[in-house]
């Protein structure tokens, strides 16, 4: 595909990306980013909609029975940026440490081209800009529940990747990314003087016993053959050395591909915690919510994308499944599609650090590759 103004689109995306990077916003609270996206789309001639949930933006272009959905996430992370950049975050404690600023800018560049060439499209394209990909409550699920997948025949998104050399694309047909349950457990006991523990109910003791019992039970349920992650990221309780603690809180990240396995684990966890709470004479509260289901890349669609990219003379490789999560899984649960990644690694520029780190930087040249890939596939 000959995109004569690719460099112009790239420059436009870089300018927007840097603007968004300076003013990161988190979760469902994205007023500035949403306003920027809306205004840019209006300038192009779109009529953006906000009907799919708080701080979401949707626009359509083209005609035809087929409807291709392209998605970008817009939210940042609660991370303090320490990079020395001219467009470093100006908001204390917030940073685009996962590259969603680049995703938003890329899709706006794609939108710009598609609108200018609307008469050449053979299918409709729905562009969605989503909040809260990083949150325990999914922005993708919110938009899906509001009907953003209605009529969609295929859905595609991309993500920057500092493990992939700049200029290269990668994809994984089939199961690709894990589901995630950000599990919270609270044990409730009763305070007393530490010298008279018989008068209290030790919530931390309940938490410690549950920690070990759950870890062993999940491992047994997996049987050494089912891939999963069970990470207890926080266990806290108590107020002073001489007070029996009446509260113990645990935050666990449970990641998996097998939904039946997850259902069995949930039953085991609830039973273990109930038995332990009763044994100590306390109570237990469990908040089990799935932030995203697994990402399954439709194999036929992924292979067609791979073929299309190769025929266009671009570089694309394969990657293996990973245990990280992406709430685009909710979108793919409603229809076929895939996520591909664009390389942003460049050792000469220091763009090598992992995402979610306060030194995370991307080589922006990778954005040009992503723009070209989106347009090559959308206009094939």
Question: Residue-wise pLDDT tens for the chain (380 aa)?
Answer: 578 899 999 999 999 999 999 999 999 999 999 999 999 999 999 999 999 999 999 999 999 899 999 999 999 999 999 999 999 999 999 999 999 999 999 999 999 999 999 999 999 999 999 999 999 899 999 999 999 999 999 999 999 999 999 999 999 999 999 999 999 999 999 999 999 999 999 999 999 999 999 999 999 999 999 999 999 999 999 999 999 999 999 999 999 999 999 999 999 999 999 999 999 999 999 999 999 999 999 999 999 999 999 999 999 999 999 999 999 999 999 999 999 999 999 999 999 999 999 999 999 999 999 999 999 999 98
H/E stretch holding 194: none
- Quote the pLDDT of residue 3: 83
For the whole model, what pTM was predicted?
A: 0.92
Locate 49 and state its tokens.
């909609």
Pairwise CA distance, residues 80 & 66, whole Å: 43
Q: Which of 306, 327, 288, 286 is nearest to 373 (CA)?
A: 306
Number of H helices, E strands in the chain: 9, 13
Pairwise CA distance, residues 98 & 133, whole Å: 10
Alpha-carbon distance values, 366 to 38, 65, 161, 164, 166 (Å): 24, 32, 9, 10, 5
**Which residues are bridge partners to 214 per DSSP?**
none
- Quote the pLDDT of residue 1: 58
DSSP code, position 353? P
Contact 236, 247 (CB under 8 A): no
Locate 339 and state its tokens.
């996520």
- Quote the pLDDT of residue 380: 86
Q: Which of 342, 301, 311 is nearest to 69 (CA)?
A: 301
Locate 111 and state its tokens.
């939108």
Number of Cβ within 10 Å of residue 120's Cβ equals 9
Q: Token pair 């840019």 is at which residue?
A: 40
CB contact set of 347 (below 8 Å; sequence gap of 6+): none
Pairwise CA distance, residues 54 & 139, whole Å: 9
- Quote the pLDDT of residue 136: 85
Alpha-carbon distance values, 40 to 10, 28, 126, 374, 378 (Å): 15, 20, 16, 19, 20
- Quote the pLDDT of residue 99: 98
Number of Cβ within 10 Å of residue 376's Cβ equals 18
């Amino acid at each position: 595909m000959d995109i004569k103004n690719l460099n112009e689109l790239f420059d436009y995306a870089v300018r927007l990306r840097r603007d968004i990077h300076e003013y990161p916003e988190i979760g469902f609270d994205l007023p500035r980013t949403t306003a920027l996206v809306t205004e840019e789309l209006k300038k192009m001639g779109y009529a953006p909609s906000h009907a799919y949930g708080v701080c979401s933006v949707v626009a359509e272009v083209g005609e035809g029975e087929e409807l291709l959905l392209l998605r970008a996430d817009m939210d940042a992370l609660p991370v303090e940026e320490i990079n020395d950049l001219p467009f470093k975050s100006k908001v204390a404690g917030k940073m685009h440490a996962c590259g969603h600023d680049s995703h938003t800018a890329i899709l706006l560049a794609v939108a710009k081209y598609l609108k200018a060439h609307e008469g050449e499209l053979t299918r409709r394209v729905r562009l969605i800009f989503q909040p809260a990909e990083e949150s325990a409550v999914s922005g993708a699920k919110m938009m899906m529940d509001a009907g953003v997948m209605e009529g969609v025949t295929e859905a595609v998104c991309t993500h920057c990747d500092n493990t992939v050399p700049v200029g290269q694309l990668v994809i994984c047909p089939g199961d690709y990314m894990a589901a995630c349950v950000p599990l919270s457990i609270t044990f409730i006991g009763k305070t007393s003087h530490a010298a008279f523990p018989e008068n209290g109910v030790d919530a931390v003791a309940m938490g410690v016993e549950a920690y070990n019992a759950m870890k062993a039970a999940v491992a047994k349920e997996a049987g050494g053959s089912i891939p999963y992650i069970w990470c207890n990221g926080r266990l806290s309780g108590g107020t002073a050395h001489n007070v029996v603690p009446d509260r113990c809180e645990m935050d666990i990240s449970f990641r998996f591909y097998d939904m039946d396995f997850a259902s069995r684990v949930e039953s085991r966890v609830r039973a273990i915690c109930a038995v332990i709470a009763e044994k100590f004479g306390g109570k237990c509260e469990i908040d089990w919510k799935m932030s995203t289901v697994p990402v399954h890349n439709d194999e036929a669609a992924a292979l067609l994308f791979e073929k299309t990219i190769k025929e266009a003379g671009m570089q694309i490789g394969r990657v293996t499944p990973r245990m990280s999560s992406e709430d685009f899984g909710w979108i793919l649960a409603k229809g076929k599609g895939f996520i591909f990644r664009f390389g942003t690694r460049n050792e000469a520029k220091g763009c090598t650090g992992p995402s979610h780190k306060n030194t995370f930087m991307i080589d922006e040249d990778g954005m040009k590759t992503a723009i070209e890939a989106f347009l090559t596939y959308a206009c094939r």
